Structure 1
Amino acid sequence: MAEKSQSQRRWPTPDILRRAKFVDDAGPIRFVDTEAAARYLAIEAHTLECYRSLGGGPVFHKFGKWVRYAVDDLDAWAESCRRATTASPAAPRILPIDRI
């Protein structure tokens, strides 16, 4: 039988689900990963990755090797990008992202 590719593997695995301790009420979601943050902001995940390297994007948290965004920080960054006109003098410097 062929091995499932990385993208086809089911997460979480059945073994992890058996060992997991479920919480009835964990409260509202506070942190999201890069993919979910990108969907929330309606931009590409690659754009957020570039902002992390170049600056100009939302604040993020690093938990070991995992990058997470607080939903409140995403809202604050989106609000800071709000403009009434294209000539707004207080526009933050956001570098263009060009894929090579």
Structure 2
Amino acid sequence: MREEAKAQRRWPTPEILRRSQFVDDAGPIRFVDTEAAARYLALSAHTLECYRSLGGGPAYHKFGKWVRYSVEDLDTWAASCRRSTAASPDAPSVLSVDRT
């Protein structure tokens, strides 16, 4: 039953696809849904939903009731999360505890 519910929630719906006009030169995909954004960032969809409600996550767009993430915004947010180690190349080396 749960798989049927997922199939019914699929976006875009078959009705939207029937009404849509496809443009051959539309270019790369600019917006993705929460599940695709989560896969792109190697996170769970639930994590992105929590970020959306609590703040601190990537910027998102609301198109009516649909939440979409810009791929460019995902890349920007991922770059802002980058951290480096506290040790610098000039830090003293750690001596081995092995006495041999």
User: Please, what TM-score do these two structures have when normalized by structure 1?
Assistant: 0.71
Which structure has the larger Rg? Answer: 2
Write out aligned runs for 1:77-96 (5 A).
77-85=77-85, 87=86
> Closer, same or farther in 2 for the Cα pair 1:47/1:72, shift >3 Å?
same
Supply the AA of the counterpart residue of 1:20.
S
- Displacement of 1:49 after TM fit? 0.2
Write out aligned runs for 1:1-100 (5 A).
5-9=4-8, 12-13=13-14, 15-85=15-85, 87=86
Which runs of 5 or more residues in structure 1 are unaligned? Answer: 89-100
Aligned partner of residue 69 in structure 1, secondary structure: strand
- Displacement of 1:64 after TM fit? 1.0
- 2-structure distance, mates of 1:69, 1:8: 21
Which runs of 5 or more residues in structure 2 are unaligned? Answer: 88-100
> Closer, same or farther in 2 for the Cα pair 1:64/1:74, shift >3 Å?
same
> Closer, same or farther in 2 for the Cα pair 1:25/1:77, shift >3 Å?
same
Per-residue CA deviation, residues 39-80 of structure 1 (Å, 9 max, x unaligned), is 000000000000001111111111111111111110011001
User: Please, what TM-score do these two structures have when normalized by structure 2?
Assistant: 0.71
- 1-structure distance, mates of 2:34, 2:23: 24
How many residues are treated as equivalent by the alignment? 83
- Displacement of 1:16 after TM fit? 4.3
> Closer, same or farther in 2 for the Cα pair 1:17/1:62, shift >3 Å?
closer
Per-residue CA deviation, residues 6-49 of structure 1 (Å, 9 max, x unaligned), is 22457642x54443312111111111110010000000000000
Please give the root-mean-square deviation of Cα atoms over the aligned residues, in Å.
Answer: 2.2
